[in-house]
Structure 1
Amino acid sequence: MAPRKFDLIAFDWDGTLIDSTALIATSLQEAARDLGLAVPTREEASHVIGLGLIQAFMWLWPDLEEGRHPALLERYRYHFLGRDREITLFPGVREMLGVLRAQGYLLTVATGKARQGLIRALEQAELTGFFDATRCADETASKPHPMMLLELIEEFGVEPDRVLMVGDTTHDLQMARNAGTAAVAVSCGAHPISELQREPSLAILDEVGALPRWLACHG
C-alpha cells in the first residue's frame, strides 16, 4: 500500500457536510425583503455561502451602511434559525467521518459560520466532540484568507502539504491555495462545477461520502 499523503483533513460545513445551501440562500433573500434591500438572486445568495456573514453582506450589498448590518444579521438569523432543524447531514457523512477517524486522520472543520452557530449545528447533527478542532469566521479571518488553515497547521504541527481541505465553494479552494494545502471539491453544495473548475483542486467529487474511496486511491 502506498504511503498516506495527508494527516489532517479540514472540512467546510455548510454545503459540504450538511445540506443547508437552500435555506441559507432563502434566508438571505428574506432578510433583504424585510429591510427593503435589493433581493439577491438564488445564484448571488449561494455565491457568498462559506464567507463570514458580514463579508457576505458586503459582497451582496456593497453600498449598505455598516450601521445597518446588525439589523440585517438579526433578520437573517430569524429566518435561518426558524427552520434550521430541518437541515440534515448529506447521506453517508456520518459513516464517512467514522471511517476516516478509524483510519487515524485528524478531522477538523473550517467554516464561515459563527462559533455559536457551529455549536448549535454540531449539537443538532449529533457530532459534538467528534472533530479534533474547529475554526469559525467570527474568531479568525473569513475565507478565502488562509488563517483558519494556518491556525490548524500550527495547532497540530503538521506540514501544509499534509493537509487536505474539502469544500463546496471557490472560497474553500482559494483558502487552501492561499495556505499552501491541497484541496478536494464537492459539487453537492453552493457553487456549480463550472465555478469549482476555475480553482485548483485534486478532484471534484459528486458527494463528500466518496472521500474515503478517493483517498484510498489518491491520498
Structure 2
Amino acid sequence: MVQLWCQGRCFPSVAAVIFDKDGTLADVAHYLRWVAIARAVKIAEHFPNLKALLLQAFGVIGDHLDPTGLQAVGTRQENQIAAAAFVATQGIPWIAALEQANAAFTAAEREFTAKAAFTPPLPGVIELVQRLHGRGCALAIISSDRRSEIEAFLDTYHLKPFFQCWQGGDEPPTKPDPQVLLRVCDRLGVRPDQTVVIGDADSDGLMAQRGGAAGSIGVTWGWPSPPKLNCFDCLATSPLEIQIALDPCTERNSCG
C-alpha cells in the first residue's frame, strides 16, 4: 500500500487508484467540442431552429466546451436522450425522436472514426500512472465513455499493462452510482476504503463519497477553463501535485 499526498491532504493505506478517462487521463476538450457541434448540425438538418439550443445544452460556449456540461460529463445515452427531448418539442413522437437523435449521433460519429488518435494522454499522466504502478497500486478506469473507446485509448498509448480493469458508460450503472465503484473494487480485490478516485467531474467525487472510498482528488488539468468542482477532498492542477510514498504500515510489515 501507499500514501498519496495532494495539496496538504494525506490519503493513507491506499491499495488502488481509480481514474476517470476523458479530461483526467485523455486530452478531449477540443475533440468533444467537435463532436457536440457535429451532432447539433446533423439534427439541425431536419430542425434548423434547434441548433443553437442543442449547442447550449451540450455545453458549447463559443470556442470552448463547458467541462461541467452535458457533452463533457454525460454518457452518449444521456446526450442522446437530451437531444431527443429537444426533437420531441417539435411535435415528434417520443420513440421517433429517440430514433432521429440516434441516427444523427451515428452520422456525426462517422466523421470521427478514431477518437483515440485525437485524444492523447494529458501531460504528466503517463508518468503518474507509471509511478503508481511501480509502487504496487492496483489501477482501474471508470469512465462515461464507451468500453471500446477506453480499450482503444489504452491500446493506442500502450497503457493497458498498467490497468487491471476498466468500466465504460455503456455498462450500467454509471457514475455517480456507487455500485460502479463497488463492482470495480471487487474486480481489483480491494476494499473501497483502500481506494482513491481521481477525476475531473463531480460525478467522480460523488461516486467516491457514496461508495465509501478512502478519498477523492479532483483534477482541473484537462481543460482550458478549469471546471468548478465541489465534491472532492482536494483539487490538483497538475499530476505533479500528487505525491506517492510507501505507506509506513506496509513498510514496517515488509521489514518483519
Give the TM-score normalised by structure 2: 0.73
Kindly tell me the number of residue pairs found equivalent between the two proteins: 215
Structure 2 contact 18–195 (Cα < 8 Å) conserved:
yes
Q: Partner letter of residue 238 of structure 2? A: E
Q: Which moved more, 1:46-55 or 1:1-10?
A: 1-10
Select the residue among 22, 25, 32 that pairs with 1:14.
22
**SS at 2:102 equivalent:** helix
Q: Partner letter of residue 19 of structure 2? A: F
> CA offsets, 1:18-55, max 9 Å, x none?
11122112211221112214331425764122332111
Partner of 1:162: 194
> CA offsets, 1:89-136, max 9 Å, x none?
111222211111010111100011112111221122221332011111
Structure 2 contact 116–156 (Cα < 8 Å) conserved:
no
Q: Which moved more, 1:14-23 or 1:42-51?
A: 42-51
> CA offsets, 1:56-106, max 9 Å, x none?
333455344222232133134224336652322111222211111010111
Q: Which moved more, 1:182-191 or 1:97-106?
A: 182-191
Q: What fraction of aligned residue pairs are identical, expressed as a percent?
A: 20
- The yes-or-no answer on 1:113 pairing with 2:145 is yes
Q: Which moved more, 1:87-96 or 1:3-12?
A: 3-12
- The yes-or-no answer on 1:51 pairing with 2:51 is no
Which whole-Å CA distance do the structure 2 matches of 1:78 and 1:128 have between them? 26
Q: Partner letter of residue 191 of structure 2? A: E
**Which ranges of structure 1 fall in alignment gaps of 5 or more residues?**
none
List, as ranges, runs of 4+ consecutive aligned residues in structure 1 with deviation greater than 6 Å. Answer: none
- The yes-or-no answer on 1:207 pairing with 2:222 is no
Q: Partner letter of residue 171 of structure 1? A: S
Deviation at 1:9, TM superposition (A): 0.5
Which whole-Å CA distance do the structure 2 matches of 1:190 and 1:76 have between them? 23
Which whole-Å CA distance do the structure 1 matches of 2:225 and 2:206 have between them? 15
Considering fraction of residues, name the structure with more strand.
2
Quickly say closer, same or farther: Cα 1:190–1:141, change in 2 above 3 A.
Answer: farther
- The yes-or-no answer on 1:175 pairing with 2:183 is no
Deviation at 1:150, TM superposition (A): 1.3
Select the residue among 177, 180, 184 that pairs with 2:217.
184
Which whole-Å CA distance do the structure 2 matches of 1:142 and 1:195 have between them? 21
Deviation at 1:217, TM superposition (A): 10
Quickly say closer, same or farther: Cα 1:193–1:60, change in 2 above 3 A.
Answer: farther
- The yes-or-no answer on 1:40 pairing with 2:55 is yes
Quickly say closer, same or farther: Cα 1:170–1:75, change in 2 above 3 A.
Answer: farther
Deviation at 1:178, TM superposition (A): 2.3
- The yes-or-no answer on 1:132 pairing with 2:164 is yes
Partner of 2:253: none
Deviation at 1:164, TM superposition (A): 0.8
**Which ranges of structure 2 fall in alignment gaps of 5 or more residues?**
4-10, 45-49, 88-96, 249-256
Structure 2 contact 198–217 (Cα < 8 Å) conserved:
yes
Larger Rg: 2
Structure 1 contact 51–142 (Cα < 8 Å) conserved:
no
- The yes-or-no answer on 1:69 pairing with 2:101 is yes
**Aligned-CA RMSD value:** 2.8
**SS at 1:166 equivalent:** strand
